[in-house]
Structure 1
Amino acid sequence: MLSKPLNISYLSRMDYGEAWDLQKKLVREIDREERDDSLLLLEHSPTYTIGSDRHPEHLLLSPEELNKRGIALFEIDRGGDITYHGPGQLVGYPLLYLDAVGLDLHKYLRDLEEAIIGLLAEFGISGGRKPEYTGVWVGDAKIAAIGVKFNKARTRRGFVTSHGFALNVKRCVKEDGFKGIIPCGIQEYDVISLEDLTGLELDVEQIGRRIIPHFGRVFGYESDEAIRTASLRS
């Protein structure tokens, strides 16, 4: 068991800009040891985000079309290319302090993938990886995108993570958002959702609750005492 607990917050629907500002605030607090490591779970209002790879040509909609469809657009500081966030998708933002000693940033990405692969296995789904891409795949279809930032700590030797993963839960995600972009710049493969694969009607918040033990197992928070819920809006 880790000596520090992991705070879990389910925030329901939140605009992207508000969540981004919240992440930056919590990163500063975790850096100063004023807050424990945290995992934010939420859904976003319809949004496209463009990461540091910066390929705006992978956005297929004009500003007028974005406005008509009510989709926001942000250029942000995570790695990767363009992706979609919206209702029906579980977004997770782990805000964790990683000590510089023995740090393996690539392993952190693989661990995020592993937590999602563990969740898929609950449904009898074999999730996997493609060596050339980050994220979680089922066959040749991508079910979860991952893009992160490692924020250099100011008061300690190490980093505090931000951004994270987006898991497609409901069928509507593809039609509502992914058809307006070339997701992550990948043209040859499709995206898929958990509902597509299971044939079930699923609740995003319940999927969020089900991923927590997998996240805890992968990152070492294996006891009930180490994982606790927290409110960020009180």
Structure 2
Amino acid sequence: MELQRRTGLEVRRLPGLQPYAGTWELQRELVLKRRRDEIPDTLLLLEHPPVYTLGRSARDASNLGAGEEYLRSLGAEVFWIDRGGDVTFHGPGQLVGYPIIRLKYREAHRYLRDLEEVVIRTVGEFGLEGRRHPDYTGVWIEDRKIAAIGVKFSSGWVTSHGFALNVNTDLRWFERVTPCGIREYGVTSLERELGRRVDLEGVERGVVRHFRAVFGVD
């Protein structure tokens, strides 16, 4: 595991494709440690193998397209989890960030906007104008969603889950479900918007830099 230490923030880049179940359990462990002040604020950065996750807003499987068994037959896992939001996809070429941090402020709305700001600044480095949508959480390029956000707040206002930024993601996986329960808009990636493959490590560096700036961990 590659480990970078920052003042007030520990950034962990988990190597390879990290199975979803393992990182979900890791988040739970880190939340308990952060709540007890055994670790500093931590940002996990990673990629997953193909997996669909459904948050607390997914009351049924209506947004799962042909259903769980079909999606599993394609080689994807399916998890019903404890974050906010509906169904989304994680997979290779997508940068996933799981902040395990104790919020200095007690405002869920502000935290979501801050996560969006991190992504907006990151995609801005590639000449793209990221924006917020008035009705939906996440980051958009015009009417195309490039980053999904779904979080959980534990006691003591310690956060888990986080954001997923499509970098070189195979967007065909999204066509098999209704991402975030939004039927009227599509999804995109840095690769699609720029017309070329994008260096994922460069995106990671931008995310870390802007995360530190937005959350004031310097």
SS at match of 1:58: coil
- Please say if residues 11 and 42 of structure 1, whose CA atoms lie closer than 8 Å, have aligned partners that are also in contact: yes
> Does 1:96 pair with 2:101?
yes
Cα offsets for 1:18-45 (capped at 9, x unmatched): 0000000000000011000000000001
Shift of residue 4, structure 1, vs aligned partner: 6.0
Distance in 1 separating the partners of 2:154 and 2:27: 11
- Please say if residues 97 and 164 of structure 2, whose CA atoms lie closer than 8 Å, have aligned partners that are also in contact: yes
- Please say if residues 91 and 169 of structure 2, whose CA atoms lie closer than 8 Å, have aligned partners that are also in contact: no
Cα offsets for 1:140-182 (capped at 9, x unmatched): 00000000000013xxxxx10000000000152x11x201100
Count of residue pairs brought into register by the alignment: 211
Query: Aligned match of 1:110 in 88, 108, 113?
Result: 113
Distance in 2 separating the partners of 1:5 and 1:197: 34
Larger mean CA deviation between 68-77 and 199-208 belongs to 199-208
Shift of residue 98, structure 1, vs aligned partner: 1.6
Indicate the residue corresponding to 1:145 in structure 2.
Answer: 148
Shift of residue 137, structure 1, vs aligned partner: 0.3
Q: How does 1:182-193 map to 2 (within 5 A)?
A: 182-193=178-189
Query: Aligned match of 1:164 in 162, 166, 181?
Result: 162
Q: How does 1:127-142 map to 2 (within 5 A)?
A: 127-142=130-145
Identity among equivalent positions (%) equals: 49
> Does 1:77 pair with 2:82?
yes
- Please say if residues 4 and 36 of structure 1, whose CA atoms lie closer than 8 Å, have aligned partners that are also in contact: no
| RMSD (Å) for aligned C-alpha atoms | 1.4
Gaps of 5+ in 2: 1-5
Indicate the residue corresponding to 2:201 in structure 1.
Answer: 205
Shift of residue 65, structure 1, vs aligned partner: 2.1
Cα offsets for 1:46-93 (capped at 9, x unmatched): 100000012411001334422321100000000010000011100000
In structure 2, the CA distance between the partners of 1:51 and 1:64, relative to structure 1 (3 Å rule), is closer
Distance in 2 separating the partners of 1:93 and 1:63: 25
| Equivalent AA in structure 2 for residue 6 of structure 1 | L
- Please say if residues 87 and 179 of structure 2, whose CA atoms lie closer than 8 Å, have aligned partners that are also in contact: yes
Gaps of 5+ in 1: 154-158, 223-234
Distance in 2 separating the partners of 1:129 and 1:24: 29
Distance in 1 separating the partners of 2:68 and 2:119: 33
Shift of residue 104, structure 1, vs aligned partner: 1.6
Rg larger for:
1
- Please say if residues 68 and 78 of structure 2, whose CA atoms lie closer than 8 Å, have aligned partners that are also in contact: no
Distance in 1 separating the partners of 2:27 and 2:113: 21
> Does 1:21 pair with 2:17?
no
Distance in 1 separating the partners of 2:112 and 2:64: 25
Distance in 2 separating the partners of 1:28 and 1:221: 21
SS at match of 1:98: coil
TM-score normalised by L of structure 1: 0.86
